[in-house]
Structure 1
Amino acid sequence: MTAPFDVDAFGVRVRVHGTGAPAADGALRAAWAGALSTDRGDAEREVHLRADEPFDAAMERITVDVTLAALEARRGRALLFHAGGVADPQGRVAALVGPSGRGKTTLSRELGTHFGYVSDETIAVDAEHRVQAYRKPLSLVRDAAPKQQVSPQQAGLRSLPDAPLRLGTLIILDRADEYQTPTLEAVSLVEALPELVTQMSYLCAHAEPLQRIARLCDAVGGVRRLRYAEASDVVALMPEVFEPSAHASTWRSWPRQTSAGPFTTDAVSDAIISDGAVVVMVGDRLQVLGGVAPVIWQAAATGSDLDAITEDVVAAYGLPPRGDVRVLVGEALEQLLEAGALNRR
């Protein structure tokens, strides 16, 4: 019977059990060589290689099992981005955020041959902006065969730098063949939040989740978008990627108030105001309120009725070129109620 082993999945110690077959368990341990834990003590989570599946399928599945177990364990303890990442010699981590199809994995692996490979799956950032690596096995495509699970070392990726890892930059990926020359551009907080939030796990487990993300964006100088076509072309741009940015957006939190008006914001867990927009979290859904909606929402949230809200809209924007302003404001108010950004008292 082969002994289980522990791996470090972005700060979570997970115990991995094999099937007891020496050859299979040896391959399992070799694939996880980049994430083996050197700590002693009890594991926070345990997973088992499934003996009722073909070995290659079981090897892929156990990576998912480890990831999900670690995500659940870090729930509310760190911001968890679905992202790849590499680190420079100073330990500054570039988090590469994007949904499937944006080339995140391919880019992470290409950059990992030049810089310290952190992960191609999850970047976890704690309250002090520290990053824990997740050097899980990589899935390599083979002709007419299931994907092969290999360690970062076997794949030729670099080791972590001899420095503490801290988030240095947040990058949203945008890959298309038309981007022949890779470029970086600043992204406003209001524009970045919908893309970041959809690529995060357990965000609503945090108090004031939007403010937590906004403060992190401030700490790294704002979010940037990387437009590129080929992963290999990005290598030359990395010195600029790692350099501190200075494009943070101005924002403020919306102070929750108790009012006796006809509307409440009880369903809103957090809200921030930036660039004339109001961004709210309702459950696990993010909503960006633009146009006249921010004026309506803030007035309703502070106790105003429809007449007073209409006066605020007219004061801010003037009378509409056509239509009854009170009716138009009422329709916009109903949309906010339907979306859950407001509730009737």
Structure 2
Amino acid sequence: MTADLVVDVLGLRVLIEPGDALDAAEHERLRAAWSGAISADAATTPDLTVSFNAEASFDQGMEQLTVDVTLAALEALRGRALMFHAAGVADAEGRVVAFVGPSGRGKTTLSRALGRRFGYVSDETIAADEGRSVHPYRKPLSVVRKDLPKEQVSPVDAGLLPVPAVPLRLDGLVLIDRDPELDAPQLSTVPLAEALPELVTQMSYLRDHPAPLQSIARLCDAVGGVRMLRYPDAETVPAIMPEILGAEPAASEWHPLALPAASGPYGVAQARDAIRSDDYLIVMVESELKVLDGIAPVIWQAAADGADLDGIIAAVVDAHGEPPTGAARQIVEDAVDELVVAGVLSRD
């Protein structure tokens, strides 16, 4: 009889049920691939159960299992943690840097390069609670193979280091972009209004938080702002880690905007959250992020305050003055129409 395979996933204990179709060798391959995440807690009842499906082939089942475990954990944590599609490593003090990027951006390759020098946390998802605590997801590394399912390689077999025996805490958010034309890695600070569109598209269930934009903005502040890392090759990144970990805080100034209980002729009720940062108004409409600039922030705020079209025009002229060319009314009407089409405003 094969022992239960229970793995630690983002602070949850997940039971993997292999079913009856696997032979002894396949059972061992499954356990070996997930060896970096096997739970040391043998007593607590698992939080989730995920079944292994090998109907097509064992390798396809292994690739799909990684997806299924990830999705089940993300669903269970919705609204409870801020979850990034990111690779992550931790230093000896437990400081975690999350390297955020979409599929195909090189997170697994980056995990292999960094994980030989720092504790491997995940190559898939980094989740942080309000206190920035991070729980590892030491899943197999999903390595691309030409015309074959991704190979699931255990962290041990990949030569990656264990996480330090200290509490893990998110210390850095880094957007990544691999550019083979570069001579060396380049690290820069990204203003909040520029960073949020990139971050939000790489987050799971952000809209399930009561104030989603304020939650992510506070986290960005707490880690000292968001950085962009452009690098030619993953092997060049470990050398810049001291700069990433030692970067001076560069948080952006921002403040929340109250959402009206009732609106005037132009509604903003579909907005889930809104903040102002520098000259930008950032609003979340359902699960989409909209960054407004120019006269659009004034239009949105006037609409939120219940103004009609004449009131919106007056607010724009008061904030920006008369336009150097064209009529203010026509310019504002056109801008209002664009915001309605974009779903930022509605005509009530």
2: CA distance, partners of 1:144 / 1:270: 43
**2:176 aligned with 1:173, yes or no?**
yes
Q: Tell me the equivalent position of 1:267.
A: 270
Amino acid at match of 2:57: P
Q: Tell me the equivalent position of 1:337.
A: 340
Q: Tell me the equivalent position of 1:9.
A: 9
Written as runs of structure 1 = structure 2, the 5 A alignment for 1:296-307 is: 296-307=299-310
Other structure's SS at 2:70 match: helix
1: CA distance, partners of 2:39 / 2:326: 67
2: CA distance, partners of 1:334 / 1:252: 27
2: CA distance, partners of 1:147 / 1:306: 55
2: CA distance, partners of 1:177 / 1:119: 24
Q: Quick one: structure 1 residues 25 and 193, their matched pair in 2 at CA, closer, same or farther if it must change by over 3 Å? A: same
2: CA distance, partners of 1:121 / 1:12: 15
Aligned length: 345
2: CA distance, partners of 1:70 / 1:245: 34
**2:304 aligned with 1:282, yes or no?**
no
1: CA distance, partners of 2:290 / 2:67: 30
User: How big is the shift at 1:100?
Assistant: 2.2
Amino acid at match of 2:25: A
Amino acid at match of 2:44: G
User: How big is the shift at 1:57?
Assistant: 1.3
Q: Percent identity?
A: 56
User: How big is the shift at 1:22?
Assistant: 1.8
Written as runs of structure 1 = structure 2, the 5 A alignment for 1:1-345 is: 1-20=1-20, 21-39=23-41, 40-141=43-144, 146-258=149-261, 261-345=264-348
Q: Quick one: structure 1 residues 145 and 319, their matched pair in 2 at CA, closer, same or farther if it must change by over 3 Å? A: closer
Amino acid at match of 1:54: S
2: CA distance, partners of 1:189 / 1:64: 30
Other structure's SS at 1:37 match: coil
Other structure's SS at 1:271 match: strand
Structure 1 window deviating more from structure 2 (305-314 vs 197-206): it is 305-314
Query: In 2, are the aligned partners of 1:220 and 1:245 still within 8 Å (CA)?
Result: no
Structure 1 window deviating more from structure 2 (172-181 vs 138-147): it is 138-147
Amino acid at match of 2:16: V
Unaligned runs of 5+ in 2: none
1:108-135 CA deviation, whole Å, 9 max, x = no partner? 2110011011000000011111011000
2: CA distance, partners of 1:313 / 1:9: 50
Unaligned runs of 5+ in 1: none
User: How big is the shift at 1:47?
Assistant: 1.4
2: CA distance, partners of 1:60 / 1:89: 31
User: How big is the shift at 1:244?
Assistant: 4.7
User: How big is the shift at 1:3?
Assistant: 3.2
Other structure's SS at 1:148 match: strand
Q: Quick one: structure 1 residues 263 and 74, their matched pair in 2 at CA, closer, same or farther if it must change by over 3 Å? A: same
Amino acid at match of 1:29: R
Structure 1 window deviating more from structure 2 (128-137 vs 100-109): it is 100-109
Query: In 2, are the aligned partners of 1:169 and 1:245 still within 8 Å (CA)?
Result: no
2: CA distance, partners of 1:305 / 1:189: 31
Q: CA RMSD of the aligned region, Å? A: 1.6
Q: Quick one: structure 1 residues 206 and 177, their matched pair in 2 at CA, closer, same or farther if it must change by over 3 Å? A: same
User: How big is the shift at 1:41?
Assistant: 2.0
User: How big is the shift at 1:259?
Assistant: 5.1
1: CA distance, partners of 2:35 / 2:191: 39
Amino acid at match of 1:68: L
Structure 1 window deviating more from structure 2 (235-244 vs 69-78): it is 235-244
Query: In 2, are the aligned partners of 1:301 and 1:342 still within 8 Å (CA)?
Result: no
Other structure's SS at 1:320 match: coil
2: CA distance, partners of 1:148 / 1:314: 60
Amino acid at match of 1:265: V
1:169-202 CA deviation, whole Å, 9 max, x = no partner? 0000011112211111000000000000000111
User: How big is the shift at 1:260?
Assistant: 5.6
Amino acid at match of 1:6: V
1:61-115 CA deviation, whole Å, 9 max, x = no partner? 1111111111111111101100000001100000000112322221121100110
1: CA distance, partners of 2:151 / 2:79: 33
2: CA distance, partners of 1:336 / 1:143: 44
